[in-house]
């Protein structure tokens, strides 16, 4: 009887300990989820502030007399500050990055972008948005690292939450900002700092600053992968394709409302369609991932880059609902090609996928911003619709480059 009783006691104690351990595990999981949501919401507002100024530059025109070239340069400064600086800031973050910098970077970009509405000097405006955009170059690598750290055994799911929530910010910014600024003026931008500060407080309350970020170590033999000439050639093709996508996407964000207004559409409708275009861009990334798995990277690139040609023709050669449909479908086309582009780069650099992603996301973003300057100047010289038509040149070259890319089985071997 004693033996049975003792065993029963041991079983009861074991059950109690298991229950307590399960509760602790559940509490930890809840803490991980809260931190992931906090970092992802911070990502949303980081990208919101990155897309705060470009869609309303046409309103700055009446206030400051900006030319199309100057508008393009402002968009270039925002893009390049958040892209060209990313590899360098990312390197520093890998060495000395602290999680509390995420909260600081959100406050930084919220403050600088929000005061842009009270700036009355073009050069000062360029400085303000450029300095503010540097925070994005910090948030993306550090935020991604934290999302991976919080993922435990579901890295892909965690990263998808982080990226998807942030991706929707670009579509929300125009539909929120344009009506408010049109009604209350550019000075109303100052109040946009509030959601950034509130989110920063949420991130601090979620204690993301206590997450230990330890960079993963890789074998020395895998750190520097040698590339053959053909691999370099195919990588350059992929960087060009991605840069052209960044150019078209940025051009339509910056001048999209003005293009639709030239097509006799009301500014509010134009703003809503632009948000639809940006939302479709995020949705297109999901569609592109499915297409990539179903038909392969090269065929997916051909499909979506070919669709880009048709959409651009609809935008520049029509003025009715076809133009609006062209904008929305363009978002899907540009987003759809993104996944296949990155996958092919990973296949070329299987041991350095972070470097491959950096080339496609970082370098291409900067090069696309530089091309924006050129096409902004062309639009100044020949008119906005003519400048838009000139986009057909890089778009067609993108299709040609895609057709020249090797199939998957020949990618690594070249």
110 and 238 both lie in a single domain? no
DSSP string, 164-199: HHHHTHHHHHHHHHHHHHHHH-GGGGGGGHHHHHHH
Q: Mean pLDDT by 10-residue block, N- to C-terminus, for the chain (414 residues)? A: 51 53 49 81 91 88 85 85 70 66 90 93 94 86 72 54 73 86 91 93 84 54 57 87 90 90 89 86 78 84 94 92 94 84 75 62 77 87 92 95 78 48
For position 151, what pLDDT does the model report?
Answer: 60
193 and 235 both lie in a single domain? no
Q: Is residue 139 part of a domain?
A: yes
289 and 403 both lie in a single domain? yes
Q: Is residue 360 part of a domain?
A: yes
Q: Is residue 25 part of a domain?
A: no
* Pure H helices in 193-296: 193-205, 220-223, 229-262, 267-295
For position 102, what pLDDT does the model report?
Answer: 86
Q: Assign residue 185 a region (left: φ > 0; alpha: ψ between -120 and 50; beta: otherwise).
A: left
Question: What's the rounded Cα separation, in Å, for the pair 280 and 329?
Answer: 7
194 and 232 both lie in a single domain? no
SS3 state of residue 300 = helix
Q: How many residues does the chain have?
A: 414
Domain that includes residue 344, residue range: 227-414
Please name which of 78, 132, 372 lies closest in space to residue 249, comparing C-alpha atoms.
372
258 and 354 both lie in a single domain? yes
For position 314, what pLDDT does the model report?
Answer: 94
How many independent structural domains does the chain possess? 2
Q: Is residue 221 part of a domain?
A: no
247 and 340 both lie in a single domain? yes
Task: Please list, residue by residue across 256-289, b when 16 or more beta carbons sit within 10 angstroms of its beta carbon and e when fewer do.
Answer: bbbbbebbebebeebbbbbbbbbbbbbbbbbbbb
86 and 157 both lie in a single domain? yes
Total Cβ atoms within 10 A of residue 383 = 13
Last residue of a domain, one of 213, 247, 271: 213
Phi, psi of 25 (to 5 degrees): -60, -45
Q: What is the CATH number of the domain that holds 68?
A: 1.20.1250.20
Last residue of a domain, one of 161, 182, 213: 213
For position 286, what pLDDT does the model report?
Answer: 73
313 and 186 both lie in a single domain? no
For position 264, what pLDDT does the model report?
Answer: 87
Question: What's the rounded Cα separation, in Å, for the pair 399 and 212?
Answer: 44
What are 55-95's pLDDT values in tens digits?
A: 888 888 888 888 888 888 898 888 778 777 666 665 566 56
Half-sphere exposure of 78 toward its Cβ, with a 13 Å CA cutoff?
Answer: 29
176 and 139 both lie in a single domain? yes
Question: What's the rounded Cα separation, in Å, for the pair 322 and 317?
Answer: 9
Q: Is residue 12 part of a domain?
A: no
Q: Is residue 219 part of a domain?
A: no
For position 22, what pLDDT does the model report?
Answer: 46
204 and 235 both lie in a single domain? no
Last residue of a domain, one of 158, 190, 213: 213
Query: Do residues 148 and 141 lie in contact, with contact meaning Cβ atoms separated by under 8 Å?
Result: no
What are 381-399's pLDDT values in tens digits?
A: 999 999 999 999 999 999 9
Q: Is residue 243 part of a domain?
A: yes
166 and 234 both lie in a single domain? no
Q: Is residue 400 part of a domain?
A: yes
85 and 205 both lie in a single domain? yes
């Amino acid at each position: 009887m004693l033996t049975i009783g003792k065993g029963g006691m041991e079983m009861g104690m074991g059950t109690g300990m298991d229950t307590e351990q399960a509760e602790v595990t559940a509490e930890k999981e809840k803490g991980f989820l809260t931190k992931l949501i906090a970092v992802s919401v911070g990502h949303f507002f980081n990208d919101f502030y990155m897309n705060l100024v470009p869609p309303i530059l046409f309103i700055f025109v009446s206030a400051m007399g900006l030319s199309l070239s100057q508008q393009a340069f402002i968009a270039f400064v925002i893009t390049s500050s958040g892209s060209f600086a990313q590899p360098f800031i990312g390197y520093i973050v890998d060495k000395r990055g602290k999680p509390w910098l995420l909260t600081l970077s959100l406050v930084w970009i919220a403050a600088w972008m929000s005061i842009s509405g009270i700036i009355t000097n073009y050069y000062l405006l360029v400085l303000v948005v450029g300095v503010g955009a540097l925070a994005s170059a910090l948030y993306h690598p550090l935020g991604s690292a934290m999302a991976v750290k919080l993922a435990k055994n579901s890295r892909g799911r965690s990263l998808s939450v982080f990226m998807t929530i942030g991706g929707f910010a670009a579509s929300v910014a125009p539909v929120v900002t344009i009506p408010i600024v049109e009604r209350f003026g550019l000075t109303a931008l100052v109040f946009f700092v509030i959601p950034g500060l509130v989110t920063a407080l949420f991130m601090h309350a979620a204690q993301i600053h206590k997450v230990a970020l330890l960079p993963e170590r890789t074998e020395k033999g895998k750190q520097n992968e040698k590339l053959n000439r053909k691999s370099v050639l195919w990588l350059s093709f992929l960087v060009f394709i991605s840069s052209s996508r960044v150019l078209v996407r940025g051009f339509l964000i910056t001048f999209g409302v003005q293009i639709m207004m030239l097509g006799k559409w009301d500014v509010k409708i134009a703003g809503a369609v632009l948000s639809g275009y940006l939302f479709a861009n995020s949705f297109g990334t999901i569609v592109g991932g499915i297409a990539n798995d179903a038909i392969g990277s090269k065929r997916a690139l051909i499909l979506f880059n070919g669709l880009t040609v048709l959409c651009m023709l609809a935008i520049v050669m029509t003025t009715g609902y076809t133009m609006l449909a062209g904008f929305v479908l363009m978002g899907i086309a540009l987003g759809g090609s993104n996944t296949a582009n990155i996958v092919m780069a990973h296949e070329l650099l299987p041991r350095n996928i972070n470097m491959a992603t950096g080339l496609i996301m970082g370098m291409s973003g900067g090069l696309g911003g530089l091309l924006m300057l050129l096409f902004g100047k062309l639009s100044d010289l020949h008119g906005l619709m003519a400048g838009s038509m000139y986009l057909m040149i890089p778009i067609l070259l993108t299709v040609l480059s895609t057709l020249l890319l090797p199939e998957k089985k020949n990618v690594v071997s070249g």
